[in-house]
Amino acid sequence: MTDEERKQKIFEEEPVPEHILVKIEEHRRRGMEVPDEELIKRPSHIEGIRAAGVINTAVLDEVAARIHAGMTTQDIDDIVSEFTRAHGGICAPLGYEGYPKSVCTSINAEVCHGIPSRHRKLREGDIVNVDCTTILNGYYADASRMFCIGEVSPARKKLVDETMKCLEIGLAAAQPWATVGDIGYAIAKYAHSKGYSVVRQLGGHGVGIDFHEDPFVAHIGHKKSGMLLVPGMVLTIEPMINAGKAEVVIDPYNEWTVSTADGKDSAQWEHTILITETGNEILTY
């Protein structure tokens, strides 16, 4: 039996609890957007995603222990690739829609999808996002961290710290029977209060059985809008916060790297979370 067949079989053997289905139907009748049953992970799925999260977290811990000024972004890719393989995992980005590397490394004004290179060195004062997704036994976990390289400017340090605060605020809003819009509203309200902007074109997403699943998790939105958050859903929250304007551009040469249009700095933190009946659980700690 393949991983895909095994995951599909679990849907049949572990149905959504009846009390959850009843509550979903109540919200549907009120006109709310509710998830399909296949977006609600079953206990065996969650166990697999949680195990992938353990490896994903360990990979980022390894990067944290070794990252330094003077190393190249390809060095980071090598660390991620070697560590993941040694622990039985697969780097999900490698080959995904043609992406050429095992991890994304985005520096300063790069918002996301920076491609590692032997010609790109980390310099004292840089801020860099390392975005890592691990597949283990067919299940996916996705997280990213910001790293300050040596002594960074107060403005960059503040951006990194406030972006982490945006993630924490988004996590607090991701409650059972709230909505995706509640997450975006909370993040954007805080970011704007600090004078920052929020990237709109990119966001979080469902994850676990596939790399990218529904729902799209915008980091700007309205309360009580978007898809209902139901116990068993697994998704990422990954606010991309800009020091300047929200507009972004895609590198026309590699067709992957997203940068701020005005050249000002950007920061991002990300976790994969499980919506539970009492709150949420971070699967990438």
Per-residue pLDDT tens for 11-56?
999 999 999 999 999 999 999 999 999 999 999 999 999 999 999 9
Whether the CB-CB separation of 184 and 217 falls below 8 Å is answered with yes
Say whether 184 sits in a helix, a strand or coil. helix
- CATH number of the CATH domain containing 47: 3.90.230.10
Q: For residue 1, what pLDDT is reported?
A: 86
Domain count, the chain: 1
Per-residue pLDDT tens for 103-158?
999 999 999 999 999 999 999 999 999 999 999 999 999 999 999 999 999 999 99
Judging by beta carbons within 10 Å of its beta carbon (0-12, 13-18, 19+), is residue 158 exposed, middle or buried? middle
Flag whether 284 is in a domain.
no
Flag whether 163 is in a domain.
yes
> What letter would DSSP give residue 228?
B
The whole-angstrom separation of Cα 266 and Cα 199 is 9
The whole-angstrom separation of Cα 99 and Cα 228 is 32
The letter for the amino acid at 42 is R
Flag whether 285 is in a domain.
no
Flag whether 24 is in a domain.
yes
Look at residues 103, 280, 265 and name the one whose alpha carbon lies nearest to residue 177.
280
Per-residue pLDDT tens for 213-255?
999 999 999 999 999 999 999 999 999 999 999 999 999 999 9
Per-residue pLDDT tens for 93-117?
999 999 999 999 999 999 999 999 9
Flag whether 283 is in a domain.
no
Q: For residue 122, what pLDDT is reported?
A: 98
Domain of 83 in residue numbering reads as: 3-278
| Region 187-195 average pLDDT | 98
Q: For residue 200, what pLDDT is reported?
A: 97
pTM over 0.95: yes
H helices of the chain, where? 3-13, 18-29, 43-66, 73-86, 154-173, 180-193
- For the chain, first and last CA: distance in Å? 31
